[in-house]
Amino acid sequence: MIIWNMGKQLQHAAIVNNFLNYLRFEKRYSAHTIMAYQEDLQQFFTYLYDQFSMPQPALAEIAPSFVRSWLASLKENKNSAKTINRKISSLKSFFKYYLRTGELEQSPMATIISPKIPKRLPVYVEQKDMETLFNHVEFPDTWNGRTERLILAILYNTGMRRSELISLKETQVNRAANNIKVLGKGNKERVIPVSAVLIKEIDDYVTQKARTLEQPDQIHLLVNDKGRQVTVGFVYNAVKKYLSVVTTIDKKSPHVLRHTFATHLTNNGADLNAVKELLGHSSLAATQIYTHNTIEKLKDIYKKAHPKA
């Protein structure tokens, strides 16, 4: 049972907990995602209490004007359009759930328009810089050095998310078929083909893990020098440290390697639907942003190469 304790707003615990448990048990959302929904709903109901003296309004009493007032206050408090859109999405999902259960006849979100978010191109590492990283950068001849190199290799070769990498199990690597099965958002499985070279690196790592470390975690693939599953901080620090050696881009996170994977595929002619499947995106819209990087690259080539550019 998810507990939602707001003090003066405790009376809303039941309707919010029902929704959060639906996300957890039926939609199978991650704990991180559920926490984000919980925080958004907590802020909204607190606002209703503070601004409209509504300690326990019925769902049908929540009018679109109340929602607009809350959104306006978020904008006044300098929340970004991206943050506001996320909160709108949380409320839409919340009221949609109660429409389906029959406890609500009309959603107050029906007339709410989300603010436009300026499109930002994904930050990625140039292909030549990734080649420099794997061909010329020396990694320490230590267990953590081996782990750091494999982390970078897997992220770049598969485009998987950091959370997917950390939870990756040895049994998810299919040596015979040269692929890795990934458990993504909503517990959706996808299979990512990889090179024989990466499979050999993984095999060597697993062999050395059993020989080098004392009682290592043999369920999860990646472990630190204590034999324990790598942490979020370990992965982030490894990526930041080695990308800093080969590139001057501002962001140097595991997600940048996901962008790099997708951008290099599209730049080299990969079908967008195939990239969508490899990334585990639920819709093509999320993948299409990588075509903008390709177009920008083509523009740059045109300017440099065409005599009339």
The pTM score is 0.66
Residues recognised as catalytic = 161, 185, 255, 258, 281, 290
**pLDDT by 10s per residue, the chain, length 309:** 444 444 444 456 789 999 999 999 999 999 999 999 999 999 999 999 899 888 778 899 999 999 999 999 999 999 999 999 999 999 999 999 999 999 999 999 999 999 987 777 889 999 999 999 999 999 999 999 999 999 999 999 999 999 999 999 999 999 999 999 999 988 889 999 999 999 999 999 999 999 999 999 999 999 999 999 999 999 999 999 999 999 999 999 999 999 999 999 998 889 999 999 999 998 898 898 888 777 777 677 668 876 775
3-state secondary structure 192-229: EECCHHHHHHHHHHHHHHHHHCCCCCCCECCECCCCCE
59 vs 69, 98, 119, 146, 208, CA distance in Å?
A: 17, 9, 35, 55, 58
